[in-house]
Amino acid sequence: MKIAAVSVIDMPLNPRYAIRRKKDANNNKWDWGSMDHSSLRKLLRSTQKGEAENKRRRLTLYFISYVGGTIMAIMAMLHVNAGNTLLVAALGASAAVMYVNVALSHLLPNNNSFYYVAGLIVCFTINTLVYTGGLNNTGLYFIFPLLFIQIVVVQFKPAIAYVAVTLGIASVLLYNQELIAAEYPPEHVSRFIIATCCFVCVAFIGENFWHQSRIEMLKDNLERVRQANTDPLTKLPNRRFLEAVFFEKVMQDPVAYFPLSAVVVDLDYFKTINDSYGHDIGDEVLVHVTSVMKDAVRATDVVARTGGEEFLVLFPHASLSQAVKLAENIRQAIEQSPFVKGDINHPITASFGVATALTDSNINAALKQADDNLYIAKKRGRNCVVE
């Protein structure tokens, strides 16, 4: 019996696998064996959301830090002869810390603490302006863009706490002017507080709507990606998933996966089932076998449908001897689980070809060897494991 027309060895490994790409922010370990709609969506969401959001925040931090730091440095130099030593020192210190913070963020791009440090710098700068008054007590006018920077740089929910603390400190200073160097007329203080509250509300509403619309677009995109990576019948990962997601993660973190054993599985005499009971029953048999296989593997293993009645099982961190034992467990589970529906009680068996890749350089060879071993298992009478 010839196995599926499109064999697993026809799945080329993309050359870019040789390039070590950055790990996703969470570095999660996935329950590959029970991969379904929700878990696959979770994996894809982590990968895509992490990349898009991290890029947006990183570029925002770079732009605001360089531009904002330069503006503060220029303002500090302009006030050198104004007699406000505290303001000059505060602006200069803020610019210096901002430059250091963004420089370190280039060295550690996956570290989120730099965003929160930038938010603290803004908090310090705002309250320094409130305390000193800036030039002729006009410092309050510069607080609005600084607050917006704080909202944008820090993530949405933490930004609420940052802004609340920043404005809380500013309000205490404004209503206790005997503690500060600046002098503000009462009507200026009340109008500043009202205008600031309105500005913050509008800014957060706009940021929230942008955030929600982005989430909706991400959900739609993830659903399309999930459908492209999932076999519609069995809900198992498909060949596209193996190439675009799983082998990518293998190349990112080879220590966590090698030795990687591959098992090509093909149901025996599946054409007979279709001819005897119809393709609808054949589809139900595939779903039944899928359930049996998923129950028989470890949480870290991958069960994928690669075409027709052919499956590919991948065992991370499994030697050849271990993979043979695991494959034998699956073979026995399938053999002991006949398909039963109404008056149909049809025994099911499968043939297995096993091979192991010790490094990322011989994954293709291992997949081909496993496929060749499957042919040998068919020639030996089926319902067996060949290594």
User: 383: which residues sit within 8 A by CB, 6+ positions away?
Assistant: 268, 331, 335, 349, 350, 351
> What pLDDT is stored for residue 6 in this prediction?
36
- Three-state SS at 46: helix
What is the CB neighbour count within 10 angstroms for residue 92? 17
The torsion of the CA quartet 167, 171, 174, 177, rounded to 10 degrees, works out to -120
Give me the pLDDT at residue 348, please.
Answer: 97
Q: First CA to last CA across the chain, in angstroms?
A: 19
State how far Cα 302 lies from the chain centre.
Answer: 19
How far apart are the C-alpha atoms of 246 and 60, rounded to whole Å? 31
How far is 311 from 352, CA to CA, in rounded Å? 10
Assess whether the previous peptide bond of 259 is cis (omega < 30° from 0): yes
Which secondary structure element, helix H or strand E, spans residue 176, and what is its range?
A: none
Contact 326, 334 (CB under 8 A): no
Residues facing residue 230 across a β-bridge? 237
Helix H or strand E encompassing 305: strand 302-307
Q: Distances from the Cα of 120 to the Cαs of 91, 116, 126, in angstroms?
A: 14, 6, 10
Radius of gyration of the chain (CA): 31
How far apart CA 196 and CA 194 sit, in angstroms, is 5
pLDDT in tens, the chain (387 residues): 333 333 443 443 433 333 223 333 334 444 444 444 455 555 555 554 556 667 878 898 999 999 989 998 998 898 888 778 888 999 999 999 999 999 999 999 888 899 999 999 999 999 999 999 987 888 898 899 999 989 988 888 899 999 999 999 999 999 999 999 999 999 999 999 999 999 999 999 988 888 788 778 877 777 787 788 899 999 999 999 998 888 988 988 899 899 999 999 999 999 999 999 999 999 999 999 999 999 999 988 999 999 999 999 999 999 999 999 999 999 999 999 999 999 999 999 999 999 999 998 899 999 999 999 999 999 999 999 999
Which pLDDT score is estimated for 40?
A: 52
- DSSP secondary structure string, 203-254? HHHHHHHHHHHHHHHHHHHHHHHHHHTB-TTT--B-HHHIIIIIHHHHHH-G
Give the type of residue at 67: V
Task: Tell me how far apart the alpha carbons of residues 321 and 194 are, in angstroms, rounded to a whole number.
Answer: 73
Q: What is the DSSP letter of 339?
A: E
Strand partners, 305: 311
Q: What angle do CA 97, 100, 103 make, to 5 degrees?
A: 150
Strand, helix or coil for residue 246:
helix
In angstroms, the CA 30 to CA 175 distance is: 54
Cα(301)–Cα(157) distance, rounded to whole angstroms?
36
Say whether pTM exceeds 0.85.
no
Asked if 240 contacts 299 with a C-beta cutoff of 8 angstroms, the reply is no
Tokens describing residue 386? 């060949």
Dihedral (CA of 359, 362, 366, 367) sign: positive
Closest CA to 149 of 165, 134, 163: 163
